[in-house]
Amino acid sequence: MDLRYSDADEKFRKELRAWLEDTVPGHGTPPPYSDWDARRTYDTGWQRKLFDAGYAGINWPKEYGGRDASLTEQLVYYEEIARAKAPYIGVNFVGMLHGGPTVITEGTDAQKSAHIPRILKGEEVWCQGFSEPVAGSDLAALQCRADLDGDHYVVTGHKIWTSFAQCADFCELLVRTDPNVAKHGGISWLIMPMDLDGIDIRPLPTLMGEGEFSEVFLESVRIPVANRVGAENDGWRVTNVTLRFERGTAFASEMYHLQEILAGMVDLAKRLTRDDANAWEDRTLRREVGHLAAQLDALWAMVKLSVSETAKTGMPGVGGSAIKLFYSGVYQQIGELGMRLLGRAALSREDLDDLPCQQSIGRAMQSLSLTIAAGTSQIQRNIIGERILGLPKDQKPAAAAAPKPQATGAR
Amino acid sequence: MDFRVTEDQEALREGLRTFCDGRVPIETLRELEQKPELDRALWGELAEMGVFALRLPEDEGGVGLGMSDAAIAFIELGRRLVPGPLVWSQLAAGLVDGAATGQTVVGGLDLISHPDAPYVIEYFESLDVVLLLQPDGIYRVDPDVLSAKPVATPLDPLTPVHHVASLLDGQRIGGADDAAKLHLEGATLTAALMLGIAESTQELATEYAKSREQFGRAIAGFQTIKHILADMFVRQEVARAAVYAAGATLDDPEVGDVVRAVSAAKATAGEGAMRNSRDCIQVHGGMGYTWEVPAHYYLKRTWVLENVFGTVGYHEERIADLLASD
Please check whether residue A220 touches B, CB under 8 A: no
> Is the ipTM beyond the 0.90 threshold?
yes
Instruction: Tell me: do B110 and B215 sit in the same domain.
Output: no
- Identify any residues that bridge with A156 across adjacent strands, giving them in sequence order: A145
- Neighboring chain B residues of A297 at a CB cutoff of 8 Å: 242, 245, 260-261, 264
Would residue A40 count as lying in a domain? yes
DSSP, collapsed to helix, strand or coil, labels residue B50 as: coil
- The domain boundary residue, chosen from A40, A70, A88: A88
Which of B98, B118, B96 shows the shortest CA–CA distance to B109?
Answer: B118
Task: Mark residue A108 as left, alpha or beta (left: phi above 0; alpha: psi -120 to 50; beta: remaining).
Answer: beta
Give the residue on A whose Cα is nearest the Cα of B203: A389
| Residue A288 resides in a domain | yes
Boundary-marking domain end, from B177, B204, B236? B177
Residues A64, A131, single domain; the answer is no
Are B192 and B165 in a shared domain? Answer: no
- Domain end (from B124, B144, B177): B177
CATH number, position A170: 2.40.110.10
In a domain, A326, yes or no: yes
- B191 interface with A at CB cutoff 8 Å: no
- Inter-chain touch A287–B252, beta carbons under 8 Å: no
> What are the chain A neighbours of B268 within 8 Å (beta carbons)?
294-295, 298
Residues 6+ apart with CB under 8 A from B116: none
Pairing of strands A170-176, A187-193: antiparallel
Residue B1 lies in a domain: no
User: For chain B, what's the residue count?
Assistant: 326
Whether B300 and B274 have beta carbons less than 8 Å apart is answered as: no
Q: A333 and chain B: CB distance < 8 Å anywhere?
A: no
Q: Is B228 in the same domain as B132?
A: no
- Nearest-5° Cα angle at B186, B185 to B191: 100
A366 and A263 in one domain?
yes
Class of residue B172 by CB neighbours under 10 A (exposed 0-12, middle 13-18, buried 19+): middle
pTM: 0.93
* Cβ contact B315:B267 at 8 Å: yes
Instruction: State the average pLDDT over residues A210-235.
Output: 96
Let me know whether A76 and A157 are in one domain: no
pLDDT (mean) for A299-318: 80
Q: Is residue A306 part of a domain?
A: yes
pLDDT recorded at residue A312: 75
Range in A44-48, A281-285, B30-34, B237-241 with the lowest mean pLDDT? B30-34
**B231 with B168, same domain?**
no
Identity of the residue numbered B225: I
Q: How many other β-carbons are positioned within 10 Å of the β-carbon of residue A120?
A: 23
Whether residue B245 sits in one domain with residue B162: no
Specify the length of chain A in residues.
Answer: 411
Cα–Cα distance measured from residue A21 to residue A226, given in angstroms and rounded to the nearest whole number: 44
B129 touches chain A (CB under 8 A): no
Which residue of chain A is at minimal alpha-carbon distance from B244? A1
Residues 303-322 of A with CB under 8 A from B: 304-305, 307-309, 311-312, 319, 322
Q: Is B76 contained in some domain? A: yes
**pLDDT: is A400 or A38 the higher one?**
A38
Query: Which of A26-30, A76-80, A251-255, A385-389 bottoms out in mean pLDDT, i.e. has the lowest?
Result: A251-255
Other C-beta atoms closer than 10 Å to the C-beta of A76 total: 25
pLDDT for the residue A396: 56
**Is A356 a member of any domain?**
yes
Instruction: Determine the residue among A77, A296, A299, A391 to mutate to test chain B binding: the one whose Cβ has the most chain B Cβ atoms within 10 Å.
Output: A391
Whether residues A290 and B230 touch (CB distance < 8 A) is answered with no
Query: Which residue, A205, A233, A261, sits at the end of a domain?
Result: A233
B108 closest CA partner among B131, B142, B77, B137: B131
Q: Could you tell me if B71 and B145 lie in one domain?
A: yes
Q: pLDDT value at position A411?
A: 38
My answer on whether A49 and A165 are in the same domain is: no
89-118 in chain A: CB under 8 A from chain B: none
Residues A322, A355 within the same domain: yes
Query: Parallel, antiparallel, or unpaired: how do β-strands A152-163 and A213-224 relate?
Result: antiparallel
Residues B94 and B191 in one domain: no
Task: Out of B133, B156, B177, pick the residue that ends a domain.
Answer: B177
Indicate if A187 and A252 belong to the same structural domain.
no
How much is the average pLDDT of A272-287? 94
Q: Is residue B117 part of a domain?
A: yes
For chains A and B, what is the number of CB pairs under 8 angstroms?
173
d(CA A45, CA A23): 12
Mean pLDDT of A266-276: 93
* Per-residue pLDDT reduced to its tens digit, A90-142: 999 999 988 999 999 999 999 999 999 999 999 999 999 999 999 999 999 99
Q: Looking at chain B, list the stretches that DSSP marks H as alpha helix, in order from N- to C-terminal side.
A: 7-23, 26-32, 40-48, 67-79, 86-92, 176-211, 223-251, 258-283, 295-306, 312-325
User: Between A266, A283, A382, which is nearest B323 by CB?
Assistant: A266
Q: Are residues B190 and B169 in the same domain?
A: no
Say whether B3 and A308 touch across the interface (CB within 8 A): yes
Instruction: Flag whether A121 is in a domain.
Output: no
Q: Is residue B32 included in any domain, yes or no?
A: yes
Check whether residue B139 and residue B268 sit in a common domain. no
Three-class SS state of B158:
coil
**B126 is a domain residue:** yes
Q: Sign of dihedral through CA atoms A281, A284, A288, A291?
A: positive
B238: closest chain A residue by CA: A298
Q: How many domains does chain B have?
A: 2
Confidence at residue B26, expressed as pLDDT on a 0 to 100 scale:
86
Q: How confident is the model at residue B197, as a pLDDT?
A: 98
Of A292, A376, A289, A362, the closest CA to residue A330 belongs to A292
Range of the domain at A225: 126-233
Cis (ω within 30 of 0) for the bond into B154?
no
Q: Does A398 touch chain B (CB under 8 A)?
A: no
Assess if residue B157 is contained within a domain. Answer: yes
Closest by CA to A47, choosing from A134, A141, A124, is A124
Q: What's the confidence (pLDDT) of residue A189?
A: 97
CB contact under 8 A, A309 and B244: no
Helix (H, G, I), strand (E, B) or coil at A75: helix
Residues A136 and A78 in one domain: no
Give the range of the structural domain holding residue B263, as residue numbers without chain letter: 186-325
Q: Looking at the structure, do residues A184 and A209 belong to the same domain, yes or no?
A: yes
Indicate if A246 belongs to the active site: yes
Is the model's pLDDT at A410 over the cut of 50? no
Residues 56-75 of A with CB under 8 A from B: 72, 75
Residue among A266, A295, A391 whose CB faces B220 most closely: A391
Distances (CA, A) of B67 to A96, B35, B249, B311: 40, 31, 9, 21
CB contact under 8 A, B319 and A307: no
Residue B75 to chain A, least CA–CA distance (Å): 15
In a domain, A111, yes or no: no
Asked if residue A229 and residue A252 are part of one domain, the reply reads no
CATH number for B87? 1.10.540.10
| B163 shares its domain with B202 | no
CATH number, domain with residue A38: 1.10.540.10
- Residue of A120, A216, A229 whose CA lies nearest to A165: A216
User: Residue B272 is part of a domain; what is its CATH number?
Assistant: 1.20.140.10
Is the CB of B237 less than 8 angstroms away from the CB of A302? Answer: yes
pLDDT of residue B61: 87
Task: Choose the catalytic residue: A210, A246, A254, A260.
Answer: A246
- Other C-beta atoms closer than 10 Å to the C-beta of B181 total 16
Average of pLDDT values for A339-345? 95
Residue B234 inside a domain? The answer is yes
For chain A, the average pLDDT equals 91
Q: Do B227 and A385 touch (CB under 8 A)?
A: yes
Residues 42 through 71 of chain B touching chain A, CB cutoff 8 Å: 68
| Tens-binned pLDDT, residue by residue, of chain B (326 aa) | 889 999 999 999 999 999 999 999 988 888 888 777 899 999 999 999 999 999 999 999 899 999 999 999 999 999 999 999 999 999 999 999 999 999 999 999 999 999 999 999 999 999 999 999 999 999 999 999 999 999 999 999 999 999 999 888 899 999 999 999 999 999 999 999 999 999 999 999 999 999 999 999 999 999 999 999 999 999 999 999 999 999 999 999 999 999 999 999 999 999 999 999 999 999 999 999 999 999 999 999 999 999 999 999 999 999 999 999 97
Record: contact B4-A378, CB cut-off 8 A:
no
Q: Which residues of chain B neighbour A388 with C-beta distances below 8 Å? A: 233
Spatial CB neighbours of B132, under 8 Å, sequence gap ≥ 6: B108, B109, B111, B138, B139, B140, B141, B167, B170
- Residue B196, Cα to own-chain centre: how many angstroms? 8
**Sign of the dihedral defined by the CA atoms of residues A109, A113, A114, A118, in that order:** positive
**Shortest CA gap A183–chain B (Å):** 23
Going by their DSSP bridges, the two strands A199-204 and A170-176 should be labelled as: unpaired
Interface test with A, best of B319, B325, B326 (most A CBs within 10 A): B319
Pairing of strands B137-141, B119-122: unpaired
User: Does A52 share its domain with A158?
Assistant: no
**Residue in B209, B241, B251 closest to A302 by CB:** B241
Q: Measured between alpha carbons, how far is B66 from B87 in angstroms, rounded to an integer?
A: 15
Q: Are A21 and A53 in the same domain? A: yes
Q: Is the pLDDT of residue A407 over 80?
A: no
Q: Is B159 on the interface with A (CB under 8 A)?
A: no
User: Which tens digits make up the pLDDT trace of A293-307?
Assistant: 999 999 999 999 988
Indicate if B195 and B60 belong to the same structural domain. Answer: no
Same domain, B173 and B215: no
* Same domain assignment for residues A56 and A165: no
**B247 in reach of chain A (CB within 8 A):** yes
Whole-angstrom distance, CA of residue A200 vs CA of residue A202: 6
pLDDT at A379 over 50: yes
Of A300, A273, A302, A297, nearest in space to A285 by CA:
A273
Q: Give the count of domains, chain A.
A: 3
Of A307, A287, A284, nearest to A295 by C-alpha is A287
As a whole number of angstroms, the distance between CA B265 and CA B193 comes to: 11
Q: Is residue A400 part of a domain?
A: no
Under an 8 A CB cutoff, do B324 and A297 touch? no
